Amino acid sequence: MKSSRNYLAVLIIILTVYWSFNDILPSVTSSKKEISATEFSIDNALYHLKNISQKPHHTGSEEHKKVQEYLVQELKKLNLEPEIQYQTAINKKWRAATTTENIIAKIKGTESGKALLLLTHYDSNPHSSLGASDAGSGVVTILEGIRAYLAANKTPKNDIIVLFSDAEELGLLGAQAFVENHPWAKNVGLVLNFEARGSGGSSYMLIETNGKNKTLLTEFLNANPNYPAANSLMYGVYKKLPNDTDLTVFREKGNINGFNFAFIDDHFDYHTEQDSYERLNRETLLHQADYFTTTLNYFADADLTNLNSDIDYIYVNFPFTKLLTYPFSWVLPMLIIAFLLFIALVAIGIYKKKMTVIGVLKGFIPYILSLVLCIGISYGLWQLLLIIHPQYTDMLHGFTYNGYQYIIAFVLLNLWILFKVYNKLKEAKAIDLLVAPITFGLVINVIIYMNLPGAGFFIIPVFASLLILAILLFMNINKASRAALFAIISIPSIYMIAPMIQLFPVALGLKTVFISAILLVFLFGLMLPVFYQEKTKNGWQALTGFLALLFFGYATFNSGFSIEKKKPNSLVFIQNSDTNTSYWASHNKTLDGYTKQYFNDESKQGGADLMAGKSKYNTSFNYYQKAENKDIRISNIKIHQDTIINNQRNVSLTITPTRNIDKYELYTNTQIELTNFTVNGTLYDKGEAFVADKGTLLIYQMANTDKDLTISFTIDKNTQPDIVINEISNDLLSHPKFTIRPRSEIMMPMPFVVNDAIICARKLEL
């Protein structure tokens, strides 16, 4: 069979891949140019977005207050009565705290049932992010969506609460303040949360519940969103991980169910100054709007009294049906049926002499070889690329600007490996070779059943492959038509798995491209008869090899930085106020024109001991250099109380800044047990005793209402605290004692780390 006979099959595969991505994202071009006042207007939403994302507006900044005032005024224009909830909150997991300023409003319903809460956060990530996507997109989706809803003169059955939470970026603190302290929280029945972890792509629906998902999923489908993007694999993984969205607080502290709607493509913009109005994908914003309008219109009048369930459902995007759903209880029976069919087909095949035991066993060799090569080369090659392009390591989230090009290149490389391995076979039959991939698919599904039943839909591609095996066994299909027929049978498999091949490297970084390789080998193996040609070499090997080289070359060509793809870098000045010594430090692994002002290749590497604490990704300083001491003023510390009662030492102190401090970090160098730990009058964990291991004791972001920071606690009288205070101000570039050449137009502050900061460190004398 000549490779030309595969053209139709390949066209079917390509179109299905395109369909799988296109089907879960609306098109701006297909939206109406003229809309009524009762419809969501993307132009209105973008108008608001432009106004609230002009500058960084993290908690405690002047711009934060301006954005807050803007949103309050816009809510008032909708005839709502917004209020500001001022409340100090302390996150137990990270011991992060601030005085939050939540914006809250309510649309009164006609009935007295549970309320629907519309949630997003309006603070941007400190200190340089513009916050257009994260989460300005959520703010304007709710703001414009509520306008359209009210314009229709609708009166909901349920109360509708709007919560623009504060300090999400600091540890979900605004949501915690609302759930723990606001009276409206007790009546919330469901939360719709709008989030972002990038600036484009489809928005994925993720259920958040302490129970099972059947009722929530059923109600979501009843709302009839036009472009649902979701699968229960993400749901299952999410439930096993320590989750970190505002909605998690509602589930954990209020036992309140909800839906997350979040997009993650263009992850390189996440928490950077490139998270801008211009870079937010308009189709992505429309996707959020579609979720909002459909779910608001449905849940505003739905019964939210009890959305719990005792049944979990499998769900996955599927051709023509939006979401295919069925109970978790079907996973084992489907697996057993697949095993029985597989055993029966193989037995019949051997009995009818269409298959041979030797041929089947030999078929495992190329498949296992392909799997090992694709996984090993994908992992190893990415590690090699990090050596060749060390600047990639300075993008801490692990997804580079040319990341999509690399994903395509790795897919093509792995296809080349697969074609190369199978083209080496002599006289092997497709029906024999198909047994190994099906066996692997069944083994994978056994592992899934035992550990992650939410991924139970992976049995569906196995059934498609069993159908292909049955056709090869019982029917004599014309060879010219066989490939196209098998490609059609494989459409559901391609539709489900193709987006996941991209999803993992985008979400978790290109270091996980080997997971994409596993998925590709899984899918390719189950579709093997589409491509494998007995006695004839497959011409697709040369094409995929050439295209792989082309895309690797293209990615290499685009490996640099530009105005549109800025290089992240970091610089901080650290002053040890106890020893009167100072250092320059940077998290960068590769130096550039900005960092070379203070470092060179001979500069000391490391610097983890310069200050306590690490970044979000546990990265410490990579370069440091002794600096001239600048005698930066430090805060005043006043001990109000230091008494011993019944073998317990009670301590209370106030830290008052003498300059513009953004954040205080307190770290303990020894393990210490505390009770009645209080921050600005708020008890940590209801005053219960807790053990602080070596590391973070408290990270406090100074809010606009804060003049100082008061801390009190109780410890054993024999305990000698060894606590370090870091006073951090993000004014390194504007401080009069420094003259620093600014970044070039192709550079930006590195996210996820303390940056552009003056850090004064000292021990707390107690």
* SS3 sequence of 180-208: HHCHHHHHEEEEEEEEECCCEEEEEEEEE
More confident residue, 411 or 7: 411
Residues 19 and 319: beta-carbon distance below 8 Å: yes
Supply the CATH number for residue 102's domain.
3.40.630.10
In a domain, 519, yes or no: yes
Residues 409 and 377 in one domain: yes
Q: How far apart are CA 142 and CA 147, in angstroms?
A: 8
pLDDT (0 to 100) of residue 614? 55
> Of the candidates 699, 720, 515, which has an alpha carbon nearest to the alpha carbon of residue 91?
699
Q: Taking 90 as the threshold, does the pLDDT of residue 677 lie above it?
A: yes
pLDDT (0 to 100) of residue 339? 97
> Of the candidates 357, 299, 240, which has an alpha carbon nearest to the alpha carbon of residue 119?
299
Enumerate the H helices of 633-747 as residue ranges: none
Q: How far apart are CA 668 and CA 609, in angstroms?
A: 13
Residues 121 and 262 in one domain: yes
Residues 546 and 579 in one domain: no
Q: How far apart are CA 464 and CA 483, in angstroms?
A: 14
In a domain, 327, yes or no: no
How many domains are contained in the chain? 3
In a domain, 331, yes or no: no
Residues 664 and 741 in one domain: yes
Q: Give mean pLDDT, residues 120-143.
A: 96
Q: Give mean pLDDT, residues 701-728.
A: 95
* pLDDT tens per residue, range 450-485: 999 999 999 999 999 999 999 999 998 877 788 999
Residues 625 and 607: beta-carbon distance below 8 Å: no
Tell me which amino acid residue 453 is: P
Retrieve residue 187's tokens: 């009546």
Q: Which helix (DSSP H) or strand (DSSP E) does residue 153 occupy?
A: none
CB atoms within 10 A of CB 354: 15
Residues 426 and 392 in one domain: yes
In a domain, 522, yes or no: yes
CA dihedral in degrees (63, 65, 67, 72; nearest 10)?
A: -170
Residues 537 and 616 in one domain: no
Q: Taking 80 as the threshold, does the pLDDT of residue 31 lie above it?
A: no
In a domain, 562, yes or no: no
More confident residue, 429 or 539: 429
Q: Residue 609 — pLDDT band, cuts 50, 70, 90?
A: low
Within 13 Å of residue 306, how many CA atoms lie on the same side as its CB? 2
Q: How far apart are CA 217 and CA 618, in angstroms?
A: 36
In a domain, 95, yes or no: yes
Residues 551 and 580 in one domain: no
For tokens 């005043």, name the residue: 636
Residue 567 pairs in a beta bridge with 747
Q: Residue 606 — pLDDT band, cuts 50, 70, 90?
A: confident
Q: Residue 309 — pLDDT band, cuts 50, 70, 90?
A: very high
pLDDT (0 to 100) of residue 279? 97
Q: Give mean pLDDT, residues 139-160.
A: 96
Domain carrying residue 600: 569-766
Sequence-distant (6+) residues with CB within 8 A of 651 are 639, 641, 642, 712, 713, 714, 715, 766
Residues 734 and 605 in one domain: yes
Task: Give the end of a domain, one of 267, 294, 311.
Answer: 311
Q: Taking 80 as the threshold, does the pLDDT of residue 91 lie above it?
A: yes
pLDDT (0 to 100) of residue 480? 72
Q: What is the bridge-based pairing of β-strands 200-208 and 257-265?
A: antiparallel
Q: How far apart are CA 267 and CA 284, in angstroms?
A: 13
In a domain, 612, yes or no: yes
Tell me which amino acid residue 362 is: K
pLDDT (0 to 100) of residue 424? 87
Q: Which helix (DSSP H) or strand (DSSP E) does residue 746 occupy?
A: none
The mean of the pLDDT values for the chain is 93
Q: How far apart are CA 279 and CA 342, in angstroms?
A: 50
* pLDDT tens per residue, range 530-580: 988 766 667 789 999 999 999 999 999 999 999 999 999 999 999 999 999
Q: Give mean pLDDT, residues 696-716.
A: 96
Task: Give the end of a domain, one of 293, 311, 329.
Answer: 311
At residue 362, the 3 state secondary structure works out as helix
Task: Give the end of a domain, one of 265, 295, 311.
Answer: 311
Lowest mean pLDDT among 4-13, 301-310, 335-344, 620-629: 4-13
Lowest mean pLDDT among 34-43, 306-315, 633-642, 702-711: 34-43
- Expressed in percent and rounded to 5, the helix, strand and coil fractions of the chain are 45, 20, 35
Residues 543 and 631 in one domain: no
Residues 450 and 405 in one domain: yes
Q: Residue 5 — pLDDT band, cuts 50, 70, 90?
A: low
Sequence-distant (6+) residues with CB within 8 A of 690 are 673, 674, 675, 677, 684
CB atoms within 10 A of CB 742: 8
- 277 DSSP 8-state letter: T
Residues 375 and 485 in one domain: yes
* SS3 sequence of 370-384: HHHHHHHHHHHHHHH
pLDDT (0 to 100) of residue 477? 82
Residues 10 and 66 in one domain: no
pLDDT (0 to 100) of residue 634? 96
> Of the candidates 516, 456, 549, which has an alpha carbon nearest to the alpha carbon of residue 231?
456
Residue 88 pairs in a beta bridge with 99
* pLDDT tens per residue, range 54-63: 999 999 999 9
In a domain, 241, yes or no: yes
Q: Give mean pLDDT, residues 107-117.
A: 96
What's the predicted TM-score (pTM) here? 0.94
Q: Taking 70 as the threshold, does the pLDDT of residue 505 lie above it?
A: yes
